[in-house]
Amino acid sequence: MLADYRLAVASREASLIGRKEVFMGKAKFGIFGDGKEVAQLAMAKVFQNGDIRSGYYRDQTFMFAIGELTIKQYFAQLYADPSVVADPSSAGRSMNGHFATRMLDENGKWKNQTNYKNSSADVSPTASQMPRLLGLAYASKLYRNNKELGRLKDFSKSGNEVAFGTIGNASTSEGMFFETMNAAGVLQVPMLISIWDDDYGISVPKEFHTIRGSISAALEGFGRTDNMPGFEILKVKGWDYEGLIETYQTAEKVCREEHIPVMIHVTEMTQPQGHSTSGSHERYKSKERLKWEKDFDCISKLKEFILENKIESPEQLNEIEKEAKNEAKVARNEAWTDFMTGINAEQKEAVSLLKKSATQNQEINSLIDELEKTINPIRADAIRVVKKAIRILRTEHNDERNNLVKWILKQEKKNYERFSSHLFSESAESALTIVKVDPVYDSEPVLVDGREILQANFDKIFEMDPRVLAIGEDVGKIGDVNQGMAGLQEKYGELRLTDTSIRECTIIGQGIGCALRGLKPIAEIQYLDYLLYAIQILSDDLATLQYRTKGGQKAPMIIRTRGHRLEGVWHSGSPMGMIINSLRGIYVLVPRNMTQAAGFYNTILASDDPALIVEPLNGYRLKEKLPVNPGEFKTPLGIPEILREGSDVTVVTYGSMCRIVMDAASQLSDTGIECEVIDVQSLLPFDINHSIVESLKKTNRIIFMDEDVEGGTTAYMMQQVLEVQGGYQFLDSLPATLTSRPHRPAYASDGDYFSKPNSEDVFDKVYSMIAEANPSKFPDLYN
């Protein structure tokens, strides 16, 4: 109890001095765990090796208590120290209070999670920790019930791990919270969610947030009964040390042993310093409330308890307090010194190079002065000054100026590594390292429906790797709405291919959590149009995971969906621009047929990267040759394919448009125009070997076509080819795009024809480009 008291006081002190650091200009923003300390100590007591947390920014005391964060590291994150050693959670990339443990080693390989107390990496958007939490808990259910997973000893001991969640009271109003709670209740997974209830969400009090003003009252119907499964719902006060310890013990037992989800509603919490450094709570809390918060401060209450029960004398407690506060201050000082040491060294280097270059130059001397006088300099200060000096010296060609340039180039490399590395996996298993394996065919290949190619490939995948699982609406019993997984649940069981309710966001979260625990989920979104329900969690959580932990965590999973073109407003979307712009950090693959799609599944499953694979929705019943090496052939990432060679114009496209363009290309050929048709196949990454510009060098004309809106993915592809690949130099005609109309596609065949690019549109677009160059041979068709 005394150790708890000591840690609580140290943690509080870290919060108090953290706020001051921000106001002194040493850090940019601060959000702290003051007022939430004691409940977190109780939670830490039942958190075991192998368990994993998915929580939010108030949890510093818990992280200290499980031994996965030091106060010094806590301050390093506040200062944004870009070193992984200083801030193991995020290497300075996340603002303070965003916790994570390093679940990967330096080579990007999984550590043995059962030997550690784990925390998945926090994000700022409220309740976004919930979908992932579901998956973390679901993984335990799989490890317990799927005996084939027994050999994965680094991730689980018979599924005994509990996934601990934390969330603020106001954030429980988010849809993701309710979606997760319902799913966890349905699935009966060992998820123990704590709600830290301080009656407020920033300035807004509880009556504006929650029906009946209480999340446990609101969720009474989620509670289990004698004959109906559900949640174990417990309620306890945030300042009641004994009550908290008892509650967490009861909760953990039922959660761990029986796999019953538990919700602990921790009420009467306080927030002594208000929400964050962005404001003060005196503006919105009444005098009475502020007084109550003082009286019911959990640390003061713990002190009262210790004294009332004569566990320790007041003098001894004062001594403990003094030591604890000092510990926080020392940690702050050490973190600051370490943080500044790196910056100061760089600044010194810059100043010394500048001085050498500035013997006669007053302008540079005053820049040096400015730099040396900067209080609490940041790395950018030295860069700015050196760049200015290089500009001033631009006409000089001497060693001094060259050394400044060299220094900038060296710093650019270092700062790229500090601030821009690890958007994707950088391990030996990166998807970019997986090489092409061609599909192999019999001498007289059988022609089958595209969906049968997928089915044969998935069958092999499930046979080869017990870690692979598929979850989604209708993927189980009927093997998805297009039967790409038909019959596989019967063969591999309900734990491998699992029907879920209609909840796209938490289907993705379920996948993220499973992937974080060593499994290989294929999370299915039934139609591309419904990816919108999950785009936030994909963008904020999955896409940022490697980056925000600087390679400390990964979630190699596949998002399987189908789209581009079929019927009507909500079953034929192709919002690829939205997707590639919001999902940097996830590979985005757009195969033209099911053989290419199957090859992408095989590539991604062999890698440790996440990817979205969009199957062409109208291709399931089109005939393709059946390969004899399912599960083995691999479509490489970022490698376009030339579908038809031609010398007059390069047409760049992907997905369902490939067939339409090929049809138009053969009609154009009849009129004497030869198109080179290129299927880019993968949008992220895009044409890594710059092969498209090679085609442009030959044809000198280029058109980008797809089913997105104008300015969407065609604009992206154009930028890549003309700017990144330098294609602008080879143009003899204005580069062009052909896209859908800006509205959603209308229903039925005419709706499709007049909304999306069709063969005639492609023909006309190409023809008019060639006609402009050679009007006598190709007269205007419509004038």
Ligand X SMILES: Cc1ncc(C[n+]2csc(CCOP(=O)(O)OP(=O)(O)O)c2C)c(N)n1
275 in contact with ligand X (CB under 6 A)? yes
DSSP for 516-538, written as a single string: HTT-EEEEE-SSGGGGHHHHHHI
166 in contact with ligand X (CB under 6 A)? no
169 in contact with Mg ion (CB under 5 A)? yes
Q: Which residues pair with 339 in a beta bridge?
A: none
Cα angle vertex 515, ends 252, 460, to 5°? 125
With both helix axes pointing from N to C terminus, report the angle between 129-145 and 175-187 in degrees, rounded to the nearest 10. Answer: 10
As measured in angstroms, the least distance from the Cβ of 479 to ligand X is: 36
55 binds, among ligand X, Mg ion, none (CB under 5 to 8 A by kind): none
Cβ proximity to Mg ion: between 168 and 610 the closer is 168
Considering CB under 6 A, how many residues would be counted as binding ligand X?
Answer: 14
Binding residue for ligand X, selected from 120, 126, 146, 681, defined by CB under 6 A: 126
As measured in angstroms, the least distance from the Cβ of 167 to ligand X is: 6
Q: Which stretch binds ligand X (CB under 6 A): 123-131, 153-161, 617-625, 633-641?
A: 123-131
For residue 600, CA distances in Å to 85, 605, 638, 712 come to 36, 8, 11, 23
Binding residue for ligand X, selected from 125, 223, 243, 487, defined by CB under 6 A: 125
560 in contact with ligand X (CB under 6 A)? no
For residue 772, CA distances in Å to 485, 662, 697 come to 49, 22, 19
168 in contact with Mg ion (CB under 5 A)? yes
As measured in angstroms, the least distance from the Cβ of 583 to ligand X is: 18
Give the number of other CB atoms < 10 A from CB of residue 106: 9
Give the residue among 630, 599, 272 at the shortest CA–CA distance from 431.
599
213 binds, among ligand X, Mg ion, none (CB under 5 to 8 A by kind): none
- Retrieve residue 327's tokens: 């510990």
Alpha carbon distance 681, 299 (integer Å)? 59
Binding residue for Mg ion, selected from 37, 59, 122, 198, defined by CB under 5 A: 198
As measured in angstroms, the least distance from the Cβ of 200 to Mg ion is: 5
32 in contact with ligand X (CB under 6 A)? no
Q: Are 676 and 695 in contact (CB under 8 A)?
A: yes
Which residues, 612 to 651, sit near ligand X by CB under 6 A?
Answer: none
Binding residue for ligand X, selected from 171, 273, 653, 682, defined by CB under 6 A: 171
Residue with tokens 């204005």: 734
As measured in angstroms, the least distance from the Cβ of 71 to ligand X is: 20
58 in contact with ligand X (CB under 6 A)? yes
> Can you tell me whether residue 469 is helix, strand or coil?
strand
Binding residue for ligand X, selected from 79, 196, 527, 716, defined by CB under 6 A: 196
198 in contact with ligand X (CB under 6 A)? yes
Cβ proximity to ligand X: between 169 and 455 the closer is 169
Q: Which stretch binds ligand X (CB under 6 A): 179-187, 199-207, 252-260, 713-721?
A: 199-207
Alpha carbon distance 564, 706 (integer Å)? 9
126 binds, among ligand X, Mg ion, none (CB under 5 to 8 A by kind): ligand X
281 in contact with ligand X (CB under 6 A)? no
As measured in angstroms, the least distance from the Cβ of 275 to ligand X is: 6
Which residues, 253 to 312, sit near Mg ion by CB under 5 A?
Answer: none
Cβ proximity to Mg ion: between 170 and 515 the closer is 170
As measured in angstroms, the least distance from the Cβ of 173 to Mg ion is: 11
Give the number of other CB atoms < 10 A from CB of residue 124: 14
169 in contact with ligand X (CB under 6 A)? yes
For 689, phi then psi, to 5°, come to -95, 10
As measured in angstroms, the least distance from the Cβ of 671 to ligand X is: 55
As measured in angstroms, the least distance from the Cβ of 506 to Mg ion is: 23
206 in contact with ligand X (CB under 6 A)? no
Q: Which stretch binds Mg ion (CB under 5 A): 48-56, 193-201, 313-321, 346-354?
A: 193-201
The residue count of the chain comes to 783
- 137 by Cβ neighbours in 10 Å (0-12 / 13-18 / 19+) ranks as buried
Alpha carbon distance 27, 5 (integer Å)? 28
33 in contact with Mg ion (CB under 5 A)? no
As measured in angstroms, the least distance from the Cβ of 255 to ligand X is: 22
Q: Are 328 and 60 in contact (CB under 8 A)?
A: no
275 binds, among Mg ion, ligand X, none (CB under 5 to 8 A by kind): ligand X
Considering CB under 5 A, how many residues would be counted as binding Mg ion?
Answer: 5
Alpha carbon distance 507, 135 (integer Å)? 8
Q: Which stretch binds ligand X (CB under 6 A): 122-130, 219-227, 610-618, 771-779?
A: 122-130
Give the residue among 605, 595, 294 at the shortest CA–CA distance from 448.
595
98 in contact with ligand X (CB under 6 A)? no
- 428 by Cβ neighbours in 10 Å (0-12 / 13-18 / 19+) ranks as exposed
587 in contact with ligand X (CB under 6 A)? no
Cβ proximity to ligand X: between 74 and 587 the closer is 74
Q: Which stretch binds Mg ion (CB under 5 A): 47-55, 190-198, 616-624, 707-715?
A: 190-198
Q: Which stretch binds ligand X (CB under 6 A): 194-202, 406-414, 695-703, 760-768?
A: 194-202
Q: Where does residue 572 fall: left (phi above 0), alpha (psi -120 to 50 degrees), or beta otherwise?
A: alpha
Cβ proximity to ligand X: between 282 and 370 the closer is 282
Binding residue for ligand X, selected from 55, 108, 168, 551, defined by CB under 6 A: 168
Q: Which residues pair with 679 in a beta bridge?
A: 641, 653
Contacts of 80 by beta carbon, 8 Å cutoff, 6+ apart: 27, 28, 87, 92, 93, 95
171 binds, among ligand X, Mg ion, none (CB under 5 to 8 A by kind): ligand X
59 in contact with Mg ion (CB under 5 A)? no
DSSP for 345-364, written as a single string: HHHHHHHHHHHHH-TT-HHH
For residue 709, CA distances in Å to 420, 714, 740, 742 come to 30, 8, 5, 5
170 in contact with ligand X (CB under 6 A)? yes
166 in contact with Mg ion (CB under 5 A)? no
Q: Which stretch binds ligand X (CB under 6 A): 70-78, 197-205, 624-632, 752-760?
A: 197-205
As measured in angstroms, the least distance from the Cβ of 174 to ligand X is: 7
- Retrieve residue 202's tokens: 């920033």
408 binds, among Mg ion, ligand X, none (CB under 5 to 8 A by kind): none
DSSP for 720-766, written as a single string: IIIIIS-GGGG-SS--EEE---SSPPPSHHHHHHHHS--HHHHHHHH
> Can you tell me whether residue 703 is helix, strand or coil?
strand
Residues that bind ligand X (CB under 6 A): 58, 124-126, 168-171, 196, 198, 200-202, 275
Residues that bind Mg ion (CB under 5 A): 168-170, 198, 200
